[in-house]
Structure formats: C-alpha cells, structure tokens
Structure 1
C-alpha cells in the first residue's frame, strides 16, 4: 500500500529563530497505541528521502504475526535543508550561518518540536494540535541526523525515546581527523557541486546517471521532486530552472561543524545508560574509516551499544543506496522493545 502523508510546520519562536518542517506518515495498518518513528536525515539530504525505508518497515512489520505495532512515522527537515530552508531563507541569507551551521540547531529544532514548545500548523496554515509527549518514540537518524538525535537528550525538558537507531552516525572528532591523516573535504566539495538545471527532467537525467547513479532510483526521484525548487529573480542564475533547496553555502557550512560531533561522542555513554542505542553501519568503511568506527565503539559507546549491524556491500550512504536493507536492519532492532505501557515522555 503506497504511503500517504500530512504536512506540518512548527514555529518555536521566540525560543528559537528557525521554522521547522515535517511530514507525518500514518500507518494505515497500524494501531493508535503503537509506536511513533521519528526520522532525521544527514547533511545534504531531506526528510522525504526516508520514504522507501518507512514504506518497507510498515509493510514488513504489518506482515509479521509478532511485528511491532507502529502507529506512524514523522520525518523532520534540518532548518537549512529541504522545505525548511525555503521558509528560513531570509535568516539563512543574513550571513550569520554562512561559515558554520551547527548541528545543534537541528537537535534544538527536534527537541522543541517533540516537547511541544511552540505552535503547529497544517498544510492549509490552520492551527494543528499535535502532542508528542504521550507517544512512544523510536528515534532513527542517519549521519548528522543521528548525532542530532543524541544531542536532543542534552536539553530540558527531557525527551524519552524507547530506543534510538543510529545509521552511520557521523561521530568523527578533531582528534580522529588528525590521527587518521585524512582530510574530510566534504565542505569544499559542497561548494562546487552542481546547483542548477534547466528543468527537473534534466536534473533527473543528470543525477540518476552521474551524481547519484549508485543511489536507489526511488531515492533519486524523491530528491528531484522535493530537494529542488524553482529559481527566482533573487537567484544568481541568468535563466529559469531549478536549484537546490539547501544551498551550496549552507551544505558546506553544515559540513564544517565539528563541535556537535565531539559533544555527541562524549555524551553517548551517558545516553546508553538510560536508552537502548542501536547502531547500523555500512560494511564498506568509506566516509568513516574502520579505526574510527572501532574507536567510537570503544570510547563513545564503551561497549554499551544495544546492537551493532553492518549492511553488506555499502558504505556511509547506505540509506540512499539500499533503503530496503536498511529498513530490514532497523526492523531487526524492534525485537527488544516492550509493547507494555511506558512512563510519561517528559
């Protein structure tokens, strides 16, 4: 059964300057008392890219006799990515976030949203009553999104997750980069990536055969549909077309943040003492070399990860390349969850 979704906007002002965009995917075969999945994306990506994974999880869990009861899934854009970037254009163009965009901004947005410290509106800009505080939450984050989920636990009021699932969490600290002798030049690469196409059709042809040719075609299609926007007179292009919602400057600024990774690295042991934290790696150690992953398990998790899985034949971008296998790995973690009532979320 194809996914259906509802779009919402969250305004945490004056506590936080950025508007937040999210989508709710109700599980049509789910239950009102089931779990709520909260999914967060990596740098350069967006909330809609989780859709193939959500669809697979809904389908496989519903087909199992003992499958996890899942009520819904929510995906959340980082403030300078996806639809949120479009809403926050004026603030992002102020220059304050051009050099570095802290991942804590994403973490803070997630926390405020889940704590209900702001107002919600629906796609028709009508007030919406949404309460996450009574839901049973499972956090699922890829790369930056995983780090941001870790850091939500450092804000007050406390948000409680039944479990966290980190897919290729980007927990590289400054000492890792120095010790490995490797330069992670993702910020420089973002500044020179292509950011204009004359049409979405041209973007699809280019990305599916070049820049994203190793991605699952469903994910490429979603990126072309939701990761791009029509150009305006304020853009530096001399003709109409489509461009990235998350600009090259903002993607680069996001890659430059290293402080949030270090904070999450140091906080992970504390988090593991109260919450089951599962980790899923790609079997290919590309963006995060094997010695760094070993150090993460030894000195961040300190042997307290609830489970560790590897998805064969793929690396850091495994959610984009193999969404079905990632969905199955996520489902593998559900067996340890209790379906009995739990305590208040706050």
Structure 2
C-alpha cells in the first residue's frame, strides 16, 4: 500500500511580514520535486483549526489519496498544509510576543497563507499556484482565514471551497456568545504542562476532549503540537525539562475575541458562496455550535448560499481530529460531485 510522504517548507517574508510561514506538501510515495504537473489534477490547500498544527491533516490526507488511486478520471497531484504562524511557536516566538501578545485575528492566518501561495517559483514551495487547479479546505478558524483571503491581491483562484465546521458566526447572537464562552473557558482550563510527551499522552487520553480523538491524530499532536517547556533554558536547580503546548493559552483565547470571526468572515463567506461552489461539512454532535448557528450559514435570505451541506456522523467541532477518514470520504464526495445525503433535522 502506498505511504504518505512529505516535504517541509519555511518561507521567510520578512521585513514585508513579521512572521515566518511553514507548510508541508504531501503526496503518495514521492512528491514532485519541481512545478512539473499535468494541469488536469487538483492541488488541495489545507488550513487548520485554532490550537492545531499543519500535520493534523495527515490521516485524512492519506485516506483521501489512497481512495483516489482507485478512481478513474480523478487526480489529486499534491496537497499543501499551511500552518498558522501562531502555531509555529518556536520559529516565531520573539515576533509573536512583540506584535501579537493580545490578539490573533484570523486575517493574520489569511495573510500568511496568501503570502505562501503567491510567493512564486523562487521562494517557499517554488510552485506557481496560479497554474494549479486549487481546492481550498479550511477547518474552524482555518475556514474563516480561507474566505478572508478573497480581500488580498493577487487573487488566489480556488475552484472549490470546503469549509469544515467553519468558525464563522453572527456577532451578538445568543448561540454565538454561548459557544465563545465555552471555548474561552476550555482554553483557560485545559492542561498545558507535563513532565514528558509520554505523560502528556497518558493525561490527554483520559480527557473528555482528547479521548474522542482518533489515536493516530493524538499521536501527531504529541509529536508536533507540543514543545519543550520554556523553563528548560534555566540552569539547575531551576530547570524544568517538561513539555507544553506549542499554542499558548493567551494567544488561543485571543483568537476567539476577534470580531473577524463574527463579522468579517461571515460577510466574506456570503460573498464567496454567491460566486463559487462552497461546500460545508458539519459534525452531527453539536458540542460547540448549535443547530441555529449552523443554519445561519445556509440562510439564503441573507445571501449565504452553500453548494451543499454534509454531515459526519458521531463527530463534533473537532471532526478532523475525531473522524479523519470520514472527513476524507466527505471531501472526496465533494470532489466527485456526489449529492449530499439527506439527514433529518439534527
């Protein structure tokens, strides 16, 4: 069976933009080493949720590419997962403290992704993405950033948009406020320091949130979502050689406070649905969003006109972490143009 292979990229756009941008390119067996491509296949662009990392998609990507291998007439050339610079905590630590200590709006992730996708053939991935058939896929805040890219020039021309549990809602809405309060409380209360990666995994396996994750995705979080604790730099007896989350609680909470989630992103989403096919994927478990919040994004009277709405059963807001292979199946259904299944009111 084919295996997933990757290339890692670091793009340094300073001084034009203060943060370095990291991404990975995925393919089966051996990724293309240059921009040679057939012109017929698709290139998928992935943007992750708050508190996640670019590798969170790997189980989904592997499942998707393996499924596509057996289908005639469809080709995915490669997949790029772009990391929010806030999650690249070690690489951007000084700049994040200096410029973003109290804020992290999704527009910053949009800027970073746009810079990476328009860097040209001499920098970053060294790919001319304007020649590619692009499918944009965003999860939670990653979906917000994906739609906000529409404001930036040159235009990144996505053929299809797929928004997974999009972190988009309406300001002042009662259900939005409840979700924001829950996310904020969880962020400040979540454990974020352990003595080792092994102890972190044992602790997270018993937590109400992480115990629902696919074990392979949890392993990826342990590998890529944690970092050596800051206190490891001190001399004995003051050193602490444990681990902590790459995403700090302060910056994670700051991202939920941004009006860009509930004003700008909703406007951008509505405008994109009127021009391009936008497919929305929800989990059937309403743990963060309510049915009313979900229905806001399908309110045609407000100009929100998704091409389809699909559901992953037995999953909630963190559907990518919980049921990665089911997410791959829904993405493939969109690419193949399969009609969305009819599910009774959830």
- TM bin, normalised by shorter chain, reads 0.7 to 0.9
Please say if residues 30 and 70 of structure 1, whose CA atoms lie closer than 8 Å, have aligned partners that are also in contact. no
Q: Where in structure 2 are there 5+ consecutive unaligned residues? A: 339-346
Q: How does 1:187-198 map to 2 (within 5 A)?
A: 187-198=184-195
> 1:93 aligns to what?
97
Unpaired runs of 5+ residues, structure 1, are: 122-127, 338-346
Q: Secondary structure of the residue that 2:9 maps to in structure 1?
A: strand
Matched, 1:77 2:100: no
237-246 vs 213-222, which moves further? 237-246
**1:36-185 pair list within 5 angstroms:** 36-66=43-73, 68-81=74-87, 84-94=88-98, 96-116=99-119, 120=123, 129-177=126-174, 184-185=181-182
Task: Indicate conservation of the 8 Å contact 1:272/1:301, yes or no.
Answer: no
Q: Could you tell me the TM-score, scaled by structure 1's length?
A: 0.87
- In structure 2, the partner of 1:6 is 7
Q: 1:220 to 1:272 in 2, by over 3 A?
A: same
For the 8 Å contact 1:268–1:300, the answer to whether it is kept is: no
Q: 1:26 to 1:179 in 2, by over 3 A?
A: closer
Residue 250 (structure 1) shift? 1.5
Task: Quickly say closer, same or farther: Cα 1:293–1:235, change in 2 above 3 A.
Answer: farther
CA distance in 1, matches of 2:233, 2:258: 26
Equivalent of 1:209, from 206, 209, 212? 206
Mark the CA change 1:303 to 1:79 in structure 2 (over 3 Å): closer, same or farther: closer
Question: Does 2:271 match 1:267?
Answer: no
1:308 alignment partner in structure 2 = 309
Contact 1:12–1:117 at 8 Å: present in 2 too? no
What is the number of equivalent residue pairs in this alignment? 327
Deviates more, 1:255-264 or 1:229-238: 229-238
> Which whole-Å CA distance do the structure 2 matches of 1:235 and 1:178 have between them?
44
SS at match of 1:80: coil
Report the TM-score when normalising by structure 2.
0.87
Q: What is the DSSP-based 3-state SS (H/G/I as helix, E as strand, rest coil) of the residue aligned with 1:330? A: helix
Matches of 2:27 and 2:92, distance apart in 1: 27
Q: Name the SS for the 2:282 alignment partner.
A: strand
Equivalent-residue separation in structure 2 for 1:60 and 1:52 (angstroms): 12
Between the aligned partners of 1:180 and 1:243, the Cα distance in structure 2 is 29
Q: How many angstroms does 1:56 deviate by? A: 0.6
**Could you tell me how far apart the structure 2 residues matched to 1:117 and 1:130 are?**
6
**Alpha-carbon offset, residue 235 of structure 1:** 7.0
Number of the residue aligned with 2:296: 295
Q: Could you say what the CA RMSD is over the residues aligned between the two structures, in angstroms?
A: 2.5
